[in-house]
Structure 1
Amino acid sequence: MLEIYVNDETSKLQAVILGTAKGFGGVPKLEEAYDPKSIEHIKNGTYPQEADVQAEMEAFATVLKKHGVEVYRPEVIEDYNQVFSRDIGFVIEDKFIRPRILKNRKEEIRGIQYVLNKINPEQQLEVPEGGRVEGGDVMPWKDHLFVGYSKKEDFEEYIVARTNEEGVNFLQESFPNKKVKAFELKKSDTDPKENALHLDCCFQPIGENKAIIYKGGFKNEEDYQFLVDFFGKENIIEITKDEMYQMNSNVFSISKQVIVSEQSFTRLNAELEKHGFTVEKIPYSETSKMEGLLRCSTLPLRREK
C-alpha cells in the first residue's frame, strides 16, 4: 500500500505525481479551450508544442528526483492533455480526494488509476454530485484549509469558476478538525489578466510562515487582508498583475527551504533568495501558456509529518 499524507504546502516532499505532456496532441480548437490564456495563445499562433512542454516537465522531474522525491507519472492517454495533475485529485492529511472537475477533463483520472490502486480504498473520498472542487483551489495549511471558490452566480456564469460552495461545504464536513477559510476569486473567461483560475494563481504559502500573493486576484479585499494579517506583512511577497499573468505565485515547494521556480521570474527569484530560500530555476514558460505552472503540474501524495 502507498502511504499518503499532506498537511501543508511546504513540508519535505517524499512522493508526488507529476503530469505528463506525452500525447497531449496538437493545438486545440478555440472552442475546445477552457481558459482565457490558452485562447489567447491559440489565437496568436503561440500555443506550446508538445516537445517543448515535455522538455520542461523532464527538467522538473530531474529536480524533484535530485531532492530524493519519488516521482509517479500518469499513464499516457493519447490526444489528451495530462499536464496539470493538481486538479484531478489532492491529498489532505491521510485522505485522497477525487474531485468533480470539468467534463472535458473527466478521463484524466484514468491516467493515475494505477497509483490510486495502491492507496487504501478507505482513504479515498469522492466529492458528491453537485459539488465541484479542483486541486488548484485547495491548500492545506496546518490547522487551516484555504480554498478558492465562486458563489452560485459566478459559478454559473464563468467556465473558469471551478470550485463551488457545495465543494467548500464538502471539505468542511470531511475535515471537521480544520478551519476552512474560503476566498472568492476574481473570474474572467476572456481576459487572462483579470482571471484567477485557481487560488494558487494568486496566492501560495512558502517556507514556515511566508506567502506569495496578488491582491487583485481576490474578489473581496477583506480576503486579501485576512491573509496579510495571517502571515504578517513582513512575510508577504506581493506580485504585480503582470507577474500574476506570468504565473509567479504558482511556484512549487519541495521543502521549507527549497522552491522550484520559472527561470525568467527574476524579481521573484531574487526576492525568494533574499528571504533565504534555495531556488531551483527551470524553464517552464511554454507550459505557462496553458494557464498553469509548477504547482498545477504536481499532485503531492506524501510530505513529511
Structure 2
Amino acid sequence: MLGLNIKNETSRLRAVVLGTAINNGSTPSIEEAYDPKSREHILAGTYPKEEDMIHEMEAFDRVFKKYGVTVFRPEIIENYNQIFVRDIGFVIDDVFIESNILPDRERELDAIQYIIDQIHPDKVIRPPSEVHIEGGDVMLWKDYVFIGTYKGSDYKDYITARTNTQGVQYIRDLFPNKIVKEFDLVKSKIEARDNALHLDCCFQPVGKNKGIIYKRGFREEADYLFLVNLFGPENLFHINRKEMYHMNSNVFSIDTNVVVSEKKFKRLNTWLRTNGFTVEEIPYAEIAKQEGLLRCSTLPLIRE
C-alpha cells in the first residue's frame, strides 16, 4: 500500500506521478483547444511536437532519479494527451482526491488507476458531479489550503474556469481543521496573457517562507494583498505579464531548497539562487505552449 503524505508544496519529495507525452496524438483542432495558449499555437503552426515534449519530460524524469524520487507514469493511451496529471487528482494529507475533470479527459484517470489501486480505498475520494476542482488550483501551505476559483456569473461559459465555489466548500467540509482560503482568478478564453488557468499560473510557494506571484492574476486586489501580508513583500518574487505567460510561477519543488525550473527563466532562476536554492534547470518551453508547465505535469504522492 502507498502511504500518502502531502502537507505542503516544498518538503522533501519521495514519490510522484509524472505525466507522459508518448503517443500524444496529432495537433488538436481549434475547437478542441482547452485553453487560449494552445489555441494561439495551433493557429500559428507552432504547436509542440511529440518528440520535443518527450525529450523535455525525460529531462524532468532524470532530475527526479538524481534525487532518488520514486516516479510513477500513466499507462499509455493511444493518441491522447496525458501530460498534465495535476489536473486529474491531488493529495491532501493522506487522502487522494479524484478530480471531476472535463468529460473528454476522463480516460486520464483510468491511466493512473493502477497507482490509485495501491492506496487504501478509504483514502480515495471522488467528489459529487457538481463539485469541480483541479489540482492546479489546490496548494497546501502550513495550516492553509489555498484554492483558486472563478466567481464570475459566466463560470459555465469558461472552459478555463476549472474549480467552482462548490469545490472550495467541498474541501472546507472534508478538512475542517484546515484554513481554506479561496482566490478569485482572472480568466480569458482568448488571451493567454490574461488567463490564470489555475492558481499555480499566478502563484506558488517555494522554500519555507517564499513565493512567486503575479499580481494581475487575481480578480480581487484583496486576495493578492492577503498573500503579500502572509508571506511578507520581501519574500515574494513578482513576475510580469510576459513571465506569467511563459509560466514562471509553475516551477516544482523537490525539497525546501531544490527547485526544478525552466532554463529560460533567467530572472527567476537568479533570484532563487540568490536566496539559497539549488535550481535544476531543464528545457520545458514546448510543453509550456499548452498553458501548463512543471507543476502541472506532476502529481506528488509522498513528501517527508
TM-score (norm 1): 0.99
Whether contact under 8 Å (1:152, 1:164) holds in the other structure is no
Amino acid at match of 1:188: S
Residues 227-236 or 155-164, more deviating: 155-164
For residues 274 and 94 of structure 2, the distance between their equivalents in structure 1, rounded to whole angstroms, comes to 34
Give a deviation string over 1:37-65, Cα, whole Å, max 9, x none. Answer: 00000000000000000000000000011
Whether contact under 8 Å (1:151, 1:165) holds in the other structure is yes
Deviation at 1:151, TM superposition (A): 1.6
Local SS of the residue matching 1:166: helix
Amino acid at match of 1:148: G
For residues 188 and 301 of structure 1, the distance between their equivalents in structure 2, rounded to whole angstroms, comes to 31
User: Which residue of structure 2 lines up, in the alignment, with residue 230 of structure 1?
Assistant: 230
- 1:89-100 aligned at under 5 Å gives the runs 89-100=89-100
Amino acid at match of 1:303: R
- 1:33-182 aligned at under 5 Å gives the runs 33-151=33-151, 153-182=153-182
Deviation at 1:152, TM superposition (A): 5.2
Identical pairs, percent: 58
User: Is 1:24 the equivalent of 2:37?
Assistant: no
For residues 55 and 268 of structure 1, the distance between their equivalents in structure 2, rounded to whole angstroms, comes to 23
Give a deviation string over 1:221-267, Cα, whole Å, max 9, x none. Answer: 01000000000011000000000000000000000000000000001
- 1:212-227 aligned at under 5 Å gives the runs 212-227=212-227
Amino acid at match of 1:192: A
For residues 79 and 157 of structure 2, the distance between their equivalents in structure 1, rounded to whole angstroms, comes to 28
Whether contact under 8 Å (1:18, 1:72) holds in the other structure is yes
Whether contact under 8 Å (1:152, 1:165) holds in the other structure is no
Amino acid at match of 1:8: N
Give a deviation string over 1:94-116, Cα, whole Å, max 9, x none. Answer: 00001101112111001100000
- 1:236-255 aligned at under 5 Å gives the runs 236-255=236-255
Give a deviation string over 1:44-90, Cα, whole Å, max 9, x none. Answer: 00000000000000000000110110000000011110000001000
For residues 102 and 199 of structure 1, the distance between their equivalents in structure 2, rounded to whole angstroms, comes to 18
User: Which residue of structure 1 lines up, in the alignment, with residue 14 of structure 2?
Assistant: 14
TM-score (norm 2): 0.99
User: Is 1:291 the equivalent of 2:291?
Assistant: yes
Deviation at 1:128, TM superposition (A): 1.2
For residues 182 and 104 of structure 2, the distance between their equivalents in structure 1, rounded to whole angstroms, comes to 26
| Structure 2 unmatched ranges of 5 or more | none
User: Which residue of structure 1 lines up, in the alignment, with residue 269 of structure 2?
Assistant: 269
For residues 232 and 205 of structure 1, the distance between their equivalents in structure 2, rounded to whole angstroms, comes to 12
Give a deviation string over 1:114-159, Cα, whole Å, max 9, x none. Answer: 0000000000111112010010000011210000001251422311
For residues 96 and 238 of structure 2, the distance between their equivalents in structure 1, rounded to whole angstroms, comes to 32
| Structure 1 unmatched ranges of 5 or more | none
Residues 291-300 or 122-131, more deviating: 122-131
Local SS of the residue matching 2:136: helix
Whether contact under 8 Å (1:145, 1:178) holds in the other structure is yes
- Pairwise CA RMSD: 0.7
Deviation >3 Å, runs of 4+:
none
For residues 203 and 247 of structure 2, the distance between their equivalents in structure 1, rounded to whole angstroms, comes to 10
Whether contact under 8 Å (1:207, 1:256) holds in the other structure is yes
Amino acid at match of 1:53: M
Local SS of the residue matching 2:77: coil
Q: How many residues align?
A: 304
Amino acid at match of 2:64: L
Local SS of the residue matching 2:153: helix
